[in-house]
Structure 1
Amino acid sequence: MVQLISRLSPVSQALIATLFTWFITALGAGLVFFFKKINKSVLNAMLGFAAGVMIAASFWSLLSPSIEMAEELGQIPWLTAAIGFLSGGAFLFLVDKLLPHLHLGLDTSKAEGIKTSWQRSVLLVLAITLHNIPEGLAVGVAFGAVAYGLPSASIGGAIALAIGIGLQNFPEGAAVSIPLRREGFSRSKAFIYGQASGIVEPISGVIGALAVISMRTILPYALAFAAGAMIYVVVEELIPEAQQGDEHSRTEIATIGCMVGFAVMMILDVALG
């Protein structure tokens, strides 16, 4: 499998990998055909798991290779990583402030970003789409990095990242479609919106791969950028949403989910990378 993928161009690799992560999102969203409600503790555990995967991926698959590549390219490793990381967070901060979106469970009047008359369903999907931009970008950059043959960039590591992102996309897909169903959407419409939130991943994945293969010097910055964007999503959205609930046990479950997610992603990266 690895040998077959390695024969493709980096852009094709990124496209296939992000189509896979999108497919897993659709599988998760498909749970809406079997369940109308989702237990809050289960949802918190899912979101915690997704947060753990993204935190581990940010370091093991993105920041650490960024530092190693910066050193190999004669750059100042800590400065390159810091600039890229903070730029990624700043980018998501601006998108969060500008793009109209609405988080699940909130009234339309509490929509964030530029004021608009868009429908509630569109605003809800855009909120989840924000989460998926850095995920697709991270996978694309990882596969683009392999093209340069640097010791710190391996096809196995890129595949591990794609698998990890896919794993956490399953609960994310369910966390979108099932609450939409609870808000009154039909099962089919909730599924369509749930899987649509992952469409941005193949797009951002191809953009990420194209960017790094066209300019080698930006590669370490791009890896750190993706890491910063993912950490921003975790701290701004996933962890607060996973900690929602009155019972202390629910927050504990979210924490356990985060720990398990981190461990799974770490194992994948070390074993395959």
Structure 2
Amino acid sequence: MEAIQDWFLSQSGVIQALLATTFTWVLTALGAATVFFFKTASRKWLDGMLGFTGGVMIAASFWSLLAPAIEMSEDRGDSPWLAPAIGFGVGALFLFALDRFVPHLHINFKKEESEGPQTNWHRTTLLVLAITLHNIPEGLAVGVAFGAAAAGVPGAEIGAAIALAIGIGLQNFPEGIAVSMPLKRQGVSNRKSFWYGQLSAIVEPVAGVVGALAVFYMEPILPYALAFAAGAMIFVVIEEVVPESQRDKYTDISTLGFIGGFLVMMILDVSLG
């Protein structure tokens, strides 16, 4: 194990970001693979896991992204709030634009509730697109974190980047289930349900590499990039994750899941970072 750790730490930030986001994608695929072993998943459990996802993302947005962005701005002698505020706002607006112009359908929503431009695309395609939009900021966040740590940027630590990857990976597992199981209930085959479930996170390694490369070639924008990922993730949580988890009678379960996810991510970041 120590040899693997040493090998990982010896890699460039881009390779570390690629490996870390591949890890988060693999956990999504493992979650999606549950369709081969279980006939269904209860709505109570799915809502709890969606809440857990939201809690992880909110905690990661602050401890892994906004707090380092503020610290970096301060260390550079800049206004500690200006770059984080701009990056956060632009990140949220970026996801807002994608949400408006990319057809998609949130989990637990009916086909007629799809968002973005009207289209005749299949419900499955719209559902996968929604989760793909969700995963873009996650991949960017992990990539930027590893790129910053590898570049030796003050305030960026490899432990914090690893904690972020673990947290995102943990919430990706139930996310894979949340995509694949509803498809199975609609009569989609196990193989196709798994395929679409894992496909929703394949964008994460791509976004991770883009985030790491951005740090190396444009280091001055790092506080903006970290806050950008935070703003995008907060937008996803409020616009997508929370409403999806509150549509049935298990609102308390999803709320407790949210608290649990927040605690797990906070503990990971503080202990490893």
TM-score by length of 2: 0.96
Match of 1:265 in 2: 265
Report whether the alignment pairs 1:121 with 2:124: yes
Match of 1:253 in 2: 253
Match of 1:56 in 2: 59
Match of 1:111 in 2: 114
What is the RMSD of the two structures over their aligned residues, measured on CA atoms? 1.2
Structure 2, unmatched stretches of 5+, are none
Q: 1:78 to 1:151 in 2, by over 3 A?
A: same
1:208 to 207, 211, 217: 211
Asked if the contact 1:66–1:220 (Cα under 8 Å) also holds between the matched residues in 2, the reply is: yes
1:143 to 142, 146, 149: 146
Runs of 4+ in 1 over 6 A off after TM superposition: none
Match of 1:187 in 2: 190
1:67-101 Cα deviation digits (max 9, x unpaired): 01111223211111111111110000000000111
1:118 shift after superposition: 2.5
Instruction: State the one-letter code of the partner of 2:34.
Output: L
Q: Which moved more, 1:260-269 or 1:102-111?
A: 102-111
1:138 shift after superposition: 0.3
Q: 1:148 to 1:111 in 2, by over 3 A?
A: same
Instruction: State the one-letter code of the partner of 1:267.
Output: I
Asked if the contact 2:105–2:127 (Cα under 8 Å) also holds between the matched residues in 1, the reply is: yes
Within 5 A, what are the aligned runs for 1:1-273? 1-245=4-248, 247=249, 250-273=250-273
Q: Which moved more, 1:206-215 or 1:142-151?
A: 142-151
1:122 shift after superposition: 1.3
Query: Which whole-Å CA distance do the structure 1 matches of 2:160 and 2:272 have between them?
Result: 6
1:37 shift after superposition: 2.0
Query: Which whole-Å CA distance do the structure 2 matches of 1:7 and 1:177 have between them?
Result: 36
Asked if the contact 1:2–1:155 (Cα under 8 Å) also holds between the matched residues in 2, the reply is: no
Q: Which moved more, 1:103-112 or 1:160-169?
A: 103-112
1:87-120 Cα deviation digits (max 9, x unpaired): 1100000000001112234443332112333232
Query: Which whole-Å CA distance do the structure 2 matches of 1:119 and 1:48 have between them?
Result: 27
Query: Which whole-Å CA distance do the structure 2 matches of 1:106 and 1:235 have between them?
Result: 15
Instruction: State the one-letter code of the partner of 1:138.
Output: A
Structure 1, unmatched stretches of 5+, are none
Query: Which whole-Å CA distance do the structure 1 matches of 2:51 and 2:122 have between them?
Result: 29
Query: Which whole-Å CA distance do the structure 1 matches of 2:47 and 2:127 have between them?
Result: 18
2:81 aligns to what SS in structure 1? Answer: helix
Instruction: State the one-letter code of the partner of 2:266.
Output: M
Q: Percent identity?
A: 63
- How many residues are paired up? 270
Query: Which whole-Å CA distance do the structure 2 matches of 1:36 and 1:165 have between them?
Result: 26
Q: Which moved more, 1:70-79 or 1:171-180?
A: 70-79
Query: Which whole-Å CA distance do the structure 1 matches of 2:246 and 2:109 have between them?
Result: 16
Q: 1:2 to 1:154 in 2, by over 3 A?
A: farther
